């Protein structure tokens, strides 16, 4: 079964959001266009409590994009984003969600961040996504969304470890930092993740 995993296409990650990915809104029409080509479509949402540990505002004397250590893991401090129940946490208004069979929320535990759609950053807690996809019969998993160098990258890495054949849809994703992503892209290819475009699916 061919599954599309749409990662964090949320208002806070597009221009005018609190943590905007450059040109993040440009992927929405592409994501809408390709959904019919998949047997199963799944969405994810960052869904943080307002006192989340990754927010710089919750650390006295720290600034946005400072790095600290949490549970032995490096942690970037972010602006408040995708707070539960806020407009910023909602999907982009133009994103078609009618075909979404399920939505998996991550980052709900205030004490640890969660970039991957499968696990938190310490691999302490599963979202249940891997089991869900396997039960549905997913073999090929196509990933897209925001941001390529963070949540999409970590999701793809975990997906490979879970045994899925993974495909990254380049033109249906955008990176927060393009230079960082160029390095990560080489890692993804080395892991066996195939780079594709929306027209080659």
Active site residue 151: yes
Q: Out of 25, 82, 106, 113, pick the active-site residue.
A: 106
Residue 145 neighbours by CB under 8 Å, 6+ apart: 5, 6, 7, 8, 9, 27, 31, 44, 151, 152, 172, 173
Annotated catalytic residue within 82, 120, 149, 151: 151
Determine the Cα–Cα distance for residues 129 and 131; give it in Å rounded to an integer: 6
CA separation, residue 192 to residues 32, 117, 153, 159 (Å): 26, 19, 13, 11
Q: Annotated catalytic sites, by residue?
A: 8, 106, 151
């Amino acid at each position: 079964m061919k599954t599309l995993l749409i990662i964090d296409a949320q208002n806070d990650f597009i221009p005018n959001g609190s943590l905007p990915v450059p040109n993040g809104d440009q992927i929405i029409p592409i994501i809408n266009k390709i959904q019919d080509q998949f047997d199963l479509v799944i969405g994810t949402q960052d869904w943080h409590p307002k006192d989340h540990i990754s927010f710089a505002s919750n650390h006295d004397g720290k600034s946005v994009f400072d790095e600290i250590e949490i549970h032995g893991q490096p942690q970037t401090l972010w602006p408040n984003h995708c707070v539960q129940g806020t407009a910023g946490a909602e999907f982009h208004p133009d994103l078609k969600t009618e075909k979404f069979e399920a939505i998996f929320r991550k980052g709900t535990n205030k004490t640890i961040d969660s970039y991957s759609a499968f696990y938190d950053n310490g691999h302490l807690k599963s979202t249940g996504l891997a089991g869900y996809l396997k039960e549905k019969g997913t073999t090929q998993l196509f990933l897209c969304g925001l941001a390529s160098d963070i949540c999409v990258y970590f999701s793809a890495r975990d997906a490979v470890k879970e045994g899925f054949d993974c495909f990254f849809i380049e033109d249906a994703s955008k990176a927060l930092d393009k230079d960082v992503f160029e390095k990560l892209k080489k890692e993804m290819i080395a892991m066996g993740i195939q780079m594709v475009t929306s027209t080659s699916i």
